[in-house]
Amino acid sequence: MPKPQLHNFQSSFTTESGVEIQQPQIAHRSWGELNEAKDNVVFICHALTGNTDADVWFGGLIGPGKALDPDKHFIICPNILGSCYGTTGPTSINPKTGKTWQADFPEITIRDIVRFNQKLLDDLKITEIELVIGGSLGGMTALEFAIMDERVQKAALFAMGKSHTPWAIGISEAQRMAIYADEFWNDGFYDEEHPPKKGLAAARAMAMITYRTPENYQQKFGREIHSKNEIYQVESYLNYQGDKLVHRFDANAYITLTKAMDSHDVSRDRGSFDSVLSGLTKPVLIVGFDSDKLYPIEEQRELAELIPHSQLAEIKSPYGHDAFLIEFDQLNVELTKFSHSLTEAK
Residues with catalytic roles = 136, 292, 321
Alpha-carbon span 343 to 111, nearest angstrom: 30
Asked whether 203 and 176 are in contact (CB, 8 A), the reply is yes
How many other C-beta atoms lie within 10 A of the C-beta of residue 234? 18
Q: What are the angstrom distances between the C-alpha of 344 and each of 67, 153, 258, 318, 340?
A: 17, 16, 40, 33, 6
In 3D space, the residue among 145, 136, 109 whose CA is nearest the CA of residue 299 turns out to be 136
CA atoms within 13 A on the CB side of 243: 6
Alpha-carbon span 38 to 92, nearest angstrom: 31
In 3D space, the residue among 184, 131, 182 whose CA is nearest the CA of residue 153 turns out to be 131
In 3D space, the residue among 206, 238, 208, 236 whose CA is nearest the CA of residue 224 turns out to be 236
Asked whether 149 and 129 are in contact (CB, 8 A), the reply is yes
Q: Which amino acid is at 12?
A: S
User: How many residues appear in the chain?
Assistant: 346
Alpha-carbon span 142 to 136, nearest angstrom: 10
Q: CB within 8 A of 67, min separation 6: which ones?
A: 61, 331, 332, 335, 336, 339
Asked whether 168 and 295 are in contact (CB, 8 A), the reply is yes
